[in-house]
Structure 1
C-alpha cells in the first residue's frame, strides 16, 4: 500500500504534468520554465526522505506518469499517436528521474544538498523527456486547435435525423456528450475514446479496438476517426494503413442496414468500398483551416 507521503508526491507530480499551461514547443525545447521547482518541494523531500527514497527507487508509478503525459499531449495535439514503444520509453524517462531523486535523497546529509541538487536533476530529466518526444513525434510536436461540439450540432453535421440502435460513438471525447444525450433520450449508446471518463464510455484505442461483427446499428464519429485518418493520409504517414484496417473493422461491425456516419468524408476510401455498401456524402460549407473537413458521409451496409 502506498504511504501518505509517497501518495502526496505522486499527486504533486501528476498535477505538475496535467496542470501545466506550457505549449508543446516549450516542452520539446526543454525551456527553462520547465525546471522551476515548487518552493516547498525540497523541504517535503527532506522531511519524508526515509519513506520517499525507497518508493522513488522502486519507480512503480513511472508508467502512470507516462500515461498522464500522453493525455496532456492529446489535449495539445489530437493527432499525436503514442505507440506502446513510445509509452514505454517515456515511462523509462520518468523511472530514471525517480531513481535519480532516490539517489539524491539517500546521499543528502542536509536540506541544502537537496536544494542544490534538484535543479540539476530537473534539467537532466526534461532534456531526456524532450529528446524522447522529438524522436517519437518529430516535426509533428506542435499545438493544434481542437474542441468538443454539442450533441445537436454533431448529429446535424453527420446528417442523422434518426439512429438505429445500438449506437457506438468512436472518439466520443472525455465527456461523452453525444453518448449522454442519446442515453438521456432512451437510446442504447456507448462511446469509445482514448481519454474516456464519462458513464457509458470506455477507454480504448480505435486503431486496435475489436468492434465486433454485425453488432452496431449506428457508428458515429464527428471530427474524430475520419479526421485523424485524413490527416495521416494527407501527411503520408504510415499510420494511414492502420486507419484503413480499422475503417474496415468498423464497417464489418455494422448490422445489415447499419450505418457509419462520420465527418469529414473520406472519398479516397469510399470510392473503393464496392457494391456491399451505399455511400452518401454531402458538403457542409467551409470551416477553413488546413484540412478539407467541410463534408460528411453516411455509409450503409447493404449485405
Structure 2
C-alpha cells in the first residue's frame, strides 16, 4: 500500500536529487541537468497502480490541495535558500500550484496504463521542467538566471546569519539608547538579533521568509508585511533589505520601483525620532532623500546608514 509517507519520501528524494542543479543549462543532447532520479523512476513503474490509487484517494478525502501546497512550499524554500535574491509572491505560489497540479494529474493518467515506458516518463518530466523554467522567468525575470546558463551546477547565493554582537557593532547601534519597539527586517530563520535584543529587555520583533516558532517572529516577506504608520521606534536591516534593493537597482530587469516604494513605507512606519538603520548603504536613494522636502535626516557611516524621522 502506497501511503502519504511514501509520497513525501518521493518528493524529498526528488528535491535532494535536483538541489543546486541549473534549470537553464542545456547539455549537447538538449537535456537539462535536472530530472527524475532513477529510484523514483523505478518506483513510478513498479508501484504505478498503488500510486494511482493514492492520488485518487487524496482527491476524495480532500488532502490533494494540502499536498500541492506542501510541494510548492518545499520548492520555494529550496529555491530561495539556493539564491536569496529570488522572490515569489502569492500569485507566484498559485501559478506554481497549477504547474504541480498538472504534473500530478498527468502522473495519475500515466499510472492507469498497464505498462509504463521510459519515454512516457521522460516526456512527462521534460515538459514539467520546461514549465518550471517559464515560471522562474515569469516570476523573477531573465537577468538573474544568466549565470545559470553557464554550468550544470549552480553556485548558491545564500543568506548568512551573523551573530547579534557583530551586527550591532557593524550598524553602530547603542542598545542602551535604542528606541522601541524594534523591527528587524530580514532577521534570518533563527532571528538571532531579535532574540538578543529581547534577552536584554528590548521589545523587538522580526520578519523573514521561512520563519517558524516564536510569536514575535513573523513569517512574511518585507513585501507581504503591512508597515503601519508611526509604529516603530527603530527598524533594523543588516545585509537584507538594502542588499536586495541594491541588487534590483543594478539589474537591467530589476524591480527597482517596487523596492523604492517599500523603502518609503518603512520610513513612514517610524515614530517621530524613530530610525531606520541598515547596511549596506544606498546612496542612490539617500541622496534623493536629502534633496527632498521629506522629514528625514540621513547619517552615513562606513558600513551603515541611519535615517531618522525628524517630526
Question: What is the TM-score normalised by the length of structure 1?
Answer: 0.82
Question: Quick check: 1:35–1:123 contact (8 Å CA) kept in 2?
Answer: no
Deviations 1:272-297 (A, max 9, x none): 334622211111xxxxxxxxxxx310
* Bigger shift: residues 154-163 or 36-45: 36-45
2:246 aligned to which of 230, 251, 266: 230
Give 1:218 deviation, angstroms.
1.0
Matching of residues 280-299 of structure 1 within 5 Å: 280-283=299-302, 295-299=303-307
Give 1:4 deviation, angstroms.
8.1
Cα distance change, pair 259–20 in 1 and its aligned pair in 2 (3 A):
farther
Question: SS where residue 195 of structure 2 aligns?
Answer: helix
Give 1:222 deviation, angstroms.
0.3
Give 1:24 deviation, angstroms.
5.0
Matching of residues 32-43 of structure 1 within 5 Å: 32-38=33-39, 41-42=43-44, 43=46
Distance 1:21 1:122 in 2: 13
Question: Quick check: 2:235–2:275 contact (8 Å CA) kept in 1?
Answer: yes
1:195 aligned to which of 210, 221, 237: 210
Number of residue equivalences: 286
Question: What is the TM-score normalised by the length of structure 2?
Answer: 0.81
Give 1:211 deviation, angstroms.
1.4
Deviations 1:144-201 (A, max 9, x none): 2531211111111111022221110001111111111112222211110122224221
Question: Quick check: 2:17–2:37 contact (8 Å CA) kept in 1?
Answer: no
Deviations 1:4-43 (A, max 9, x none): 81354145315633x3563252566562552213256334
* Bigger shift: residues 245-254 or 47-56: 47-56
Partner of 1:25: 22
Partner of 1:300: 308
Give 1:84 deviation, angstroms.
3.6
Question: Quick check: 2:18–2:35 contact (8 Å CA) kept in 1?
Answer: no
Unaligned runs of 5+ in 2: 149-155
Partner of 1:261: 277
Distance 2:53 2:18 in 1: 33
Give 1:100 deviation, angstroms.
0.7
Question: SS where residue 280 of structure 1 aligns?
Answer: strand
Unaligned runs of 5+ in 1: 284-294
Question: SS where residue 301 of structure 2 aligns?
Answer: strand
